[in-house]
């Protein structure tokens, strides 16, 4: 039977919003479900690309899921590996979670309902409580022999770093071979190779050290005055992510953090406004922090006041990190020499992984602490 061209053609118009469902069905990520379980789903507008994305609210399932305790790495410690690196490449996986199949008997647990039907995931979905930890475990297993040598893995973001271009060529070959062996697929448009300076996890990495990525904080100057505790926490969360770049962050932020305490009366004072503006300026004018070299001595500068404790870790005149700490209720009653000692203890604790076994010089304002090791009597805190 022939099928002649006609002036009219039959067409099928999808209900607005169903495109993400059809796309995932076509790719084999989901299938129709008859599971007795089901979580609600909604379609969210994509900020950059336009269109909509499917988001499932897995809170009911997550509440009864045994949590995977595989630890996510601390970003500051990840960056410590980069000392001496001059050449960088980064690889972003294409829909990384969707490259992992869900165990057959667990597929019905991922079921979700929409106004267009009932479906379940065949691959690991976003929103599942153990998904980040499991994905990181898989990636660490893939690059086990390369971690801490020339590869950094943070969930689906991969950084390759080298001290020379020749070395980098070999490192890239090894990493791409691992991708081929384990059938992992990258999104080429989000990858970058042979860089002297790279944006990674909200930071700019280079031979000079680590800096805040300006694109991540460019809107901070236009951040409106917080009007609720939630909005204060949101701002402090961003600022806190970059706390190592901000001298005396905790002490400076104290008027704002006081408003987030339980049963605290919300009163945005002129002091809060001043602190808010100060932190915004600090976030958008941070310096490049040096990478630590454990073969060289460290210098630790400590200071204490009624507002809190402040510390600076340095090496050869360059700042490696800032740290600060607001005083707890009992610490507010300490005499000056005990506060200064508390600042030293705080620095030794948070930078223990740098200082233990290495030479370090500690600088403080209180001269009497110089004799603490030879004092005949010490109080309970000392």
- Give the model confidence (pLDDT) of 228-265 as tens digits: 998 999 898 888 889 888 888 888 898 999 999 888 88
Contacts for 284 with CB less than 8 Å, ≥ 6 apart: 214, 217, 218, 220, 221
Sign of the Cα torsion 35, 40, 43, 47 reads negative
What order do you get walking across the sheet with 298-305 strand by strand? Answer: 318-326, 308-315, 298-305, 360-363
Predicted local distance difference test score (pLDDT) of residue 375:
59
Enter the pTM of the model.
0.77
Contacts for 64 with CB less than 8 Å, ≥ 6 apart: none
State the average pLDDT over residues 34-53: 78
Asked if 138 contacts 101 with a C-beta cutoff of 8 angstroms, the reply is: no
298-348 pLDDT per residue, tens? 999 888 877 788 889 988 888 888 888 888 777 777 777 778 788 888 888
Q: Is the pLDDT of residue 178 over 50?
A: yes
Q: What percent of the chain has a predicted confidence (pLDDT) above 70? A: 89
CB atoms within 10 A of CB 125: 22
User: Which pLDDT band, with edges at 50, 70 and 90, does 184 fall under?
Assistant: very high
User: Which pLDDT band, with edges at 50, 70 and 90, does 51 fall under?
Assistant: low
Predicted local distance difference test score (pLDDT) of residue 117:
86
Residue 2 or 224, more confident: 224
Q: Is the pLDDT of residue 209 over 80?
A: yes
Predicted local distance difference test score (pLDDT) of residue 381:
54
Tell me the C-alpha distance between 378 and 127, whole Å: 53
Predicted local distance difference test score (pLDDT) of residue 334:
76
Q: What percent of the chain has a predicted confidence (pLDDT) above 90? A: 36
Q: Which two tokens stand for residue 376?
A: 């005949």
State the average pLDDT over residues 105-121: 91
Predicted local distance difference test score (pLDDT) of residue 272:
92
Predicted local distance difference test score (pLDDT) of residue 12:
47
State the average pLDDT over residues 10-29: 71
Q: Which of 153-157, 272-276, 291-295 has the lowest mean pLDDT?
A: 291-295
Asked if 90 contacts 171 with a C-beta cutoff of 8 angstroms, the reply is: no
Asked if 239 contacts 253 with a C-beta cutoff of 8 angstroms, the reply is: yes
Residue 200 or 12, more confident: 200
Q: Is the pLDDT of residue 378 over 60?
A: no
- The single residue listed with the structure tokens 């050869």 is 316
Predicted local distance difference test score (pLDDT) of residue 283:
87
Q: Is the pLDDT of residue 88 over 90?
A: yes
Contacts for 63 with CB less than 8 Å, ≥ 6 apart: none
């Amino acid at each position: 039977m022939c099928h002649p061209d006609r002036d009219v053609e039959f067409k099928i118009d999808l209900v607005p919003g169903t495109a993400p469902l059809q796309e995932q069905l076509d790719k084999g990520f989901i299938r129709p479900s008859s599971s007795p379980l089901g979580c609600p789903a909604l379609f969210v507008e994509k900020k950059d690309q336009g269109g909509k994305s499917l988001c499932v609210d897995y809170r009911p399932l997550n509440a009864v899921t045994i949590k995977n305790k595989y630890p996510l790495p601390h970003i500051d410690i990840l960056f410590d590996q980069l000392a001496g690196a001059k050449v960088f490449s980064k690889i972003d996986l294409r829909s990384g979670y969707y490259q992992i199949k869900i165990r057959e008997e667990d597929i019905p647990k991922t079921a979700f309902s929409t106004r267009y039907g009932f479906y379940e995931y065949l691959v690991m979905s976003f929103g599942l409580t153990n998904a980040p930890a499991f994905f990181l475990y898989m990636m660490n297993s893939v690059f086990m022999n390369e971690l801490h040598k020339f590869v950094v893995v943070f969930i689906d973001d991969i950084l390759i770093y080298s001290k020379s271009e020749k070395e980098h060529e070999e490192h890239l070959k090894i990493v791409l071979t691992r991708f081929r062996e384990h059938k992992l697929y990258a999104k080429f448009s989000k990858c970058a190779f042979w860089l002297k300076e790279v944006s990674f996890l909200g930071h700019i990495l280079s031979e000079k050290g680590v800096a805040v990525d300006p694109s991540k904080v460019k809107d901070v100057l236009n951040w409106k005055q917080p009007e609720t505790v939630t909005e204060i926490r949101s701002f402090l969360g961003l600022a806190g992510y970059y706390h190592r770049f901000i001298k005396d962050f905790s002490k400076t932020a104290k008027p704002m953090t006081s408003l987030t305490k339980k049963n605290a009366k919300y009163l945005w004072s002129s002091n809060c406004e001043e602190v808010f503006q100060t932190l915004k300026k600090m976030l958008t004018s941070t310096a490049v922090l040096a990478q630590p070299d454990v073969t060289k001595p460290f210098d630790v500068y400590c200071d204490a006041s009624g507002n809190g404790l402040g510390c600076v870790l340095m090496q050869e005149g360059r700042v490696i990190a800032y740290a600060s700490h607001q005083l707890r209720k009992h610490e507010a009653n300490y005499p000056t020499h005990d506060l200064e000692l508390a600042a030293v203890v705080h620095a030794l604790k948070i930078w223990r992984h740098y200082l233990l076994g290495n030479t370090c010089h500690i600088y403080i304002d209180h001269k009497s602490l110089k004799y603490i090791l030879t004092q005949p009597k010490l109080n309970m805190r000392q």
